[in-house]
Amino acid sequence: GENVEQHPSTLSVQEGDSAVIKCTYSDSASNYFPWYKQELGKGPQLIIDIRSNVGEKKDQRIAVTLNKTAKHFSLHITETQPEDSAVYFCAYSGAGSYQLTFGKGTKLSVIP
Amino acid sequence: NAGVTQTPKFQVLKTGQSMTLQCAQDMNHEYMSWYRQDPGMGLRLIHYSVGAGITDQGEVPNGYNVSRSTTEDFPLRLLSAAPSQTSVYFCASSPPGTKNIQYFGAGTRLSVL
């Protein structure tokens, strides 16, 4: 079936540095690409999303870029802070679909 | 407005026991879904519902039943629990007209011995 590969599975950065997480998908009909942040003991929280008619979207220190030709999208976090430490999940869904397919997650650790 | 509420937060079952995981939302969301989260596996869709009276299977439906008698509630039933169902379960819902955007509850951690 359709899936999404997420890399890396773990990422450690120094506070203030940037972090990049990349996902590659296989379904060419996909048109919605959200990123979720999950803190320990909590449910996933939507932090940013992008649709296929947009190449890049920013929200303060986070940004998502989409390359539909190469079928990959990435999460960029700049000026990382300790509170950015969490597990991040990418996901995608197809046109008209409610169903999200999730990546396996990236555990980000920001070292003070 | 409490968002998506899941109960219980923790549960321990013995193999063969049955139980129902509760999920409720007070935001008049049409779409609701259940996921399970296992280490290194991300979130996998179990069942979903696009409105009251309508349910459908996701990626991993075996061993689980759902019903949607009201817009607010979407319970997940385990009829005969198995150790393979040890997991963290999340319920999510989507506002009308947004389809893909999903808001998650805090989860239910289930252990089956």
Q: Which of B31, B43, B93 to mutate to test the interface with A (most CBs of A within 10 A)?
A: B43
Q: What is the pLDDT of residue B95?
A: 84
What percentage of chain A exceeds 90 in pLDDT? 76
pLDDT tops 80 at residue A98: no
Give the pLDDT score at B12.
97
pLDDT band of residue B99 (cuts 50, 70, 90) is low
Cβ-based neighbours of A81, under 8 Å, separated by 6 or more: A15, A110
CA nearest neighbour of A54 among A69, A68, A75, A71: A68
C-beta of residue A98 within 8 angstroms of C-beta of residue A82: no
pLDDT > 90: percent of chain B = 81
Tokens found for residue B101: 């955007």
| pLDDT above 90: residue A15 | yes
Mean pLDDT of chain B: 93
Q: Is A60 exposed, middle or buried (0-12, 13-18, 19+ CB in 10 A)?
A: exposed
Instruction: Taking the CA atoms of A99, A104, A109 and B3 in sequence, report the sign of the dihedral they define.
Output: positive
Encode pLDDT of B53-88 as tens digits: 999 999 999 999 999 999 999 999 999 999 999 999
Task: Compute the distance between CA of residue B26 and CA of residue B34 in angstroms, rounded to an integer.
Answer: 17
CB spacing of A103 vs B59 below 8 angstroms: no
Mean pLDDT across chain A, nearest whole number? 92
Q: How distant is the Cα of B73 from the closest Cα of chain A, in angstroms? A: 18
The predicted pLDDT at position B42 comes to 86
**Residues of chain A neighbouring B50 (CB-CB closer than 8 A):** 98
Report whether pLDDT(A97) > 80. no
Q: How far is CA A16 from the centre of its chain?
A: 19
Residue A53 has pLDDT above 90, yes or no: no
Residue A2 pLDDT exceeds 70: no
Cα B9 to Cα A110: distance, rounded to the nearest angstrom: 28
**What number is the average pLDDT over the span B5-32?**
95
B90 vs A1, A43, A105: nearest CB? A43
What is the total residue count of chain A? 112
Transcribe A34-84 into DSSP letters: EEEEE-TTS--EEEEEEETT-SEEEETTEEEEEETTTTEEEEEE-S--GGG
Cis peptide before B61 (omega within 30 of 0): no
The one-letter amino acid code at A90 reads C
The more confident residue out of A1 and B29 is: B29
Residue A49 has pLDDT above 90, yes or no: yes
Average pLDDT score over residue span A6-18: 97
List chain B residues with CB under 8 Å of A99. Answer: 33, 45, 48, 58
Phi, psi of B46 (to 5 degrees): -95, -60
Q: Looking at A93-102, B4-13, B24-33, which range is the least confident one? A: A93-102
CA-to-CA separations, A41 to A63, B88, B105, in angstroms, rounded: 25, 10, 11
Tell whether B40 is within 8 A of chain A (Cβ). yes
* Subunit contact B58:A42, Cβ cutoff 8 A: no
Show the CA angle centred on residue B82, arms to residues B10 and A1, nearest 5°.
Answer: 100
DSSP A23: E
